[in-house]
Amino acid sequence: MNQQELQALRAMIATHKRWDYMFGVLGILALMLALMTFVALFADMAVNGLGRINVDFLTSFPSRRAANAGILSAWVGSVLVMLVTACAAVPLGVAAGVYLEEYAPKNWVTDIIEINVTNLAGVPSIIYGLLALGLFVYTFGLGQSILTAGLTLALLILPIVIVATREAIRAIPQIIREGAYACGATTWQVVSDHIVPYSSAGILTGVIIGMARAIGETAPIITVGALTFIAFLPTAPFAGDPPAGLFDWLFAPFTVMPIQMFNWTSRPEAAFLNNAAAAGLILVLMTLTMNGLAIWLRYRLRKNIKW
Amino acid sequence: MTDHTSKNFDLELESLRTYVLKMGGAAEQQVRKAIEGLYSGDQAFLETVIRDDDRINQMEIDIDALCNQVIAKRQPTAIDLRMIVSVLKVISDLERIGDKARKVARLGITLSSLSGDGVLNEGLNHMTEIALKMLRLALDGFARVDVSLATEAVHLDKLVNAEYQSISRQLITYMMEDPRAITRSLDTLTIAKAIERVGDHATNIAESVVYMAKGLNVRHISADEIEDRIARS
Amino acid sequence: MNPITEHNSRETLSPLKAEAKKLNFYYGNFQALKNINMPIYEKKVTSLIGPSGCGKSTYLRCFNRMHDLYPGNRYEGAIEFHPDRTDLLSKKVDPIEVRMRISMVFQKPNPFPKSIYENVAYGLRVRGESARSVIDDKVEAALRSAALWGEVKDRLKELGANLSGGQQQRLCIARALATDPELLLFDEPTSALDPIATASIEELITELKERVTILIVTHNMQQAARISDFTAYMYIGEMVEFGVTDQIFIKPKRKETEDYITGRFG
């Protein structure tokens, strides 16, 4: 290659590399836009709400006076509802996902089920609220309770859990499955010894992401009839007189964080807006903590999984 | 034969084949010249025959190295493997034929310096022609992977042996008639024996060709039996 | 010509371990194997060679009914498994039963993401074995047979995936051996390994044939020549030639086999 050709080659490479550079800049701009929006929202809430956050705020019931109002019943309600949601959504979602991936015959019935599961993820959450109102509250008579809310949110995140389970299972190389079958394992042995353990990181991530979404849901909870003003906690197991049963709290009336916030923002006094901001800050922190937990769990569990 | 996927492998085998045929041609040439020199008594000519044997020896070494290279690089199998194995045997036979030519040339020089009547006759010449025809047939069989040429060569060996018997009887007669002819006769008998050995080596080459073409080991059996086995394979 | 008597006359009378009889195999409508008849001799290594897509892996995977894992696959004919003459392909025979008797080692090392110990013990666990001492003994014996014990005896709790490629493949061989299979299937076991690891696996296979019958698919013809007693050449779903390995590599009977093994394959 002579000197002239070499020059031309270098010029061409330089031109092509310019595009690399330009796309890099564009990407950073796009990222900044998303990040800055979040930071601005968070900062705004922090400015308004940080002053209200203290131990009293977390341990007080709502009150007519903004300065005395707290979020005790709201966060306890949120935590309990999430507990019910997790207990309902995880076994159902994992079982459904495992069935679809490992057991279901590949035919048109399975195809239709798959399409429906995917579509369910796109149904507006208020529709789930309406369904739950009719099904859980009236038909099953579960009342406007923590159980009803938890089951409703479980339905809402079920598609997310199923899809996450299926994705996690699909990530397991076929050769691992074949290796297990070649040892003489039955499908159930393959699922319980290999498929579920190896996909647990992905499943957990999906569950937590679903829960992070559910914890912020307002519409379906309002629809099933959460109260906006609750100045008591659900009875703890075996507490009170006569002693409550182990699961009595499931049927207690409740409120959750987003509803509490919604309630405060609709008050005329400015002080309540600061309360709402403070509650929002805590809600965001709860969500971030859950996401953090998801990342940590995924890292922990994946460390032992190498193909 | 279809070509190998590797063109270089084809080239290597082809050059190996060509080299062996060239060596075969050279060996045949040496025998022919040694006998010519023997009849003409041209000592200088016979000296060149002796010198040229080194060329054949060198060819054997070169082909040997080539075979080793092909084995190491290509791991030949089936027909390719059998060809390489046959080449290794064929070149050792060809080298021995070269040695026989040199021996004839040496004795030719000795004989031409002896005084007295020659004991040579047309028998030796005829025997040489047959032995060289065998060699040519065997080498043609090698070049064309043709067993029919090779078996023809093996058949001819009987003629060579018969010719040798007749020459040796004749020489014995000379020796009994005239004791002064004994030295000359013994040398001539050694020459006839050398040519008879050329026929044996040509037979070996022909047998190697049968192995190469058919994968049959046909050493140490008669020509008819060889044909029989080929027919049955 | 009866293939069994023909080959047995040359090898000193080894009994049959399995025999494919008029085996046809279909992926849906595509016929992948066509009328395969082939003997497998006990405690011998039989290798399957042929170009990619010739059906050799498909054939191998018939032996442990791997095709049953996927829909639309269909067998015809039989693979008789000796000495009980069970037809491995029969619908009446549970594929689990077949896989309990016949182990398999795959192309890519596929240790489970579990400890070395648990990998080897898995076949025993599947069989419901729970006595710690029994499992310990069998794991050690299997690792010894796979020439891996010395390298891993102090790190049985470590992940199988932390081993080198060759060690992983030997781990998979140990896993296959732990359950004392009657037939061991190898599906191109060294194609993902470097030459040194390949040599150690080949050495291992030659040692293993003392105790188990081996059927191996290989892309590497020299490997087949080095390690196997019998070789079968397959082409587009057909068994072109089956014979004693030495005969196949020195004087194959069929022109197609000769062209393939000498590298004249177009």
- Residue C12: per-residue pLDDT: 54
Between these two residues, A79 and B63, which has the higher pLDDT value? Answer: B63
Chains A and B touch (3+ CB pairs under 8 A): no
B77 in a structural domain: yes
- What pLDDT band is residue C2 in, cutting at 50, 70 and 90? very low
- The two beta strands, C183-187 and C213-217, are parallel
For the range A304-307, what are the long-range contacts, defined as Cβ-Cβ under 8 Å and sequence gap of 24 or more?
Answer: A304/C113, A304/C159, A305/A198, A305/A201, A305/C113, A306/C113, A306/C159, A306/C161, A306/C162, A307/A173, A307/A176, A307/C110, A307/C113, A307/C161
- What pLDDT band is residue B117 in, cutting at 50, 70 and 90? low
- Residue B142: per-residue pLDDT: 96
- Residue C4: per-residue pLDDT: 46
Percent share of chain B, pLDDT over 70? 97
Q: How far is C155 from chain A (nearest CA, A)?
A: 15
- What pLDDT band is residue A272 in, cutting at 50, 70 and 90? confident
Mean pLDDT of B123-142: 95
B157 in a structural domain: yes
Q: Which range marks the domain in which residue B20 is found?
A: 7-232
Percent share of chain C, pLDDT over 90? 80
Mean pLDDT of A175-185: 94
Q: What is the CATH number of the domain that holds B156?
A: 1.20.58.220
Mean pLDDT of A255-276: 83
- Mean of the per-residue pLDDT values of chain C: 91
Q: How far is C144 from chain A (nearest CA, A)?
A: 19
Mean pLDDT of C109-132: 93
The tokens for A67 are: 């300065």
- Mean of the per-residue pLDDT values of chain A: 86
- Chain A contact probe: residue of C70, C96, C177 with most A CBs at under 10 A: C96
pLDDT above 60 (res C6):
no
B2 in a structural domain: no
pLDDT above 90 (res A306):
no
With a CB cutoff of 8 Å and minimum separation 6, the contacts of C217 are: C47, C48, C56, C57, C59, C60, C186, C187, C188
Choose among A288, A217, A209: nearest CA to A46: A288
B1 in a structural domain: no
Subunits with 3+ C-beta pairs closer than 8 A to B: C
pLDDT tens readout for residues A19-59: 999 999 999 999 999 999 989 988 888 888 888 888 888 88
- What pLDDT band is residue B66 in, cutting at 50, 70 and 90? very high
Residue with tokens 């009887």: B169
Mean pLDDT of B197-203: 96
| Total structural domains within chain B | 1
The tokens for B140 are: 């043609």
- What pLDDT band is residue C3 in, cutting at 50, 70 and 90? very low
Q: Give yes or no for A178 touching C (CB within 8 A).
A: yes
Would the ipTM clear 0.85, i.e. be above it? Answer: yes
pLDDT above 60 (res B129):
yes
Cβ atoms within 10 Å of C222's Cβ, excluding its own: 13
B68 in a structural domain: yes
Q: Give yes or no for C252 touching A (CB within 8 A).
A: no
Identify all chain B residues contacting C257, using CB atoms and an 8 Å cutoff.
Answer: 78
- Residue A71: per-residue pLDDT: 83
B139 in a structural domain: yes
Name which of A177-186, A196-205, B206-215 the model is least confident about.
A196-205
- Residue C7: per-residue pLDDT: 55
- Residue C1: per-residue pLDDT: 39
Chain-chain contact of C122 with A175 (C-beta, under 8 angstroms): no
List the single residue in C103, C161, C162 with the smallest CB-CB distance to A182: C103
Rg (C-alpha) for chain B, rounded Å, is 19
- Chain A contact probe: residue of C124, C126, C183, C188 with most A CBs at under 10 A: C126
List the single residue in C108, C110, C126 with the smallest CB-CB distance to A184: C126
Class (C level, CATH) for C3-261: alpha beta
pLDDT tens readout for residues B166-190: 999 999 998 999 888 888 899 999 9
pLDDT above 90 (res A63):
no
pLDDT above 50 (res A127):
yes
Mean pLDDT of A210-229: 81
- Residue A218: per-residue pLDDT: 81
- What pLDDT band is residue A234 in, cutting at 50, 70 and 90? confident
Between these two residues, C214 and A264, which has the higher pLDDT value? Answer: C214
Name which of A69-78, A104-113, B9-18, C250-259 the model is least confident about.
A69-78
With a CB cutoff of 8 Å and minimum separation 6, the contacts of C160 are: C111, C112, C113, C114, C115, C116, C119, C168, C171
pLDDT above 80 (res C59):
yes
- Residue C54: per-residue pLDDT: 92
Q: Give yes or no for C175 touching A (CB within 8 A).
A: yes
- The two beta strands, C30-41 and C45-49, are unpaired
B48 in a structural domain: yes
Q: How far is C111 from chain B (nearest CA, A)?
A: 33
Q: Give yes or no for C96 touching B (CB within 8 A).
A: no
- Mean of the per-residue pLDDT values of chain B: 92
B136 in a structural domain: yes
Per-domain boundaries in chain C: 3-261
Percent share of chain C, pLDDT over 70? 95
Identify all chain B residues contacting C49, using CB atoms and an 8 Å cutoff.
Answer: none
Identify all chain C residues contacting A303, using CB atoms and an 8 Å cutoff.
Answer: none
Q: Which strands make up the sheet holding C230-235, listed edge to edge?
A: C102-105, C183-187, C213-217, C45-49, C230-235, C238-244
Chain-chain contact of C176 with A182 (C-beta, under 8 angstroms): yes
pLDDT above 50 (res B205):
yes
Chain-chain contact of C266 with B5 (C-beta, under 8 angstroms): yes
- Chain A contact probe: residue of C61, C64, C66, C112 with most A CBs at under 10 A: C112
Percent share of chain A, pLDDT over 90? 32
- What pLDDT band is residue C10 in, cutting at 50, 70 and 90? low
Complete DSSP assignment for A169-180:
HHTS-HHHHHHH
Chain-chain contact of C96 with A186 (C-beta, under 8 angstroms): yes
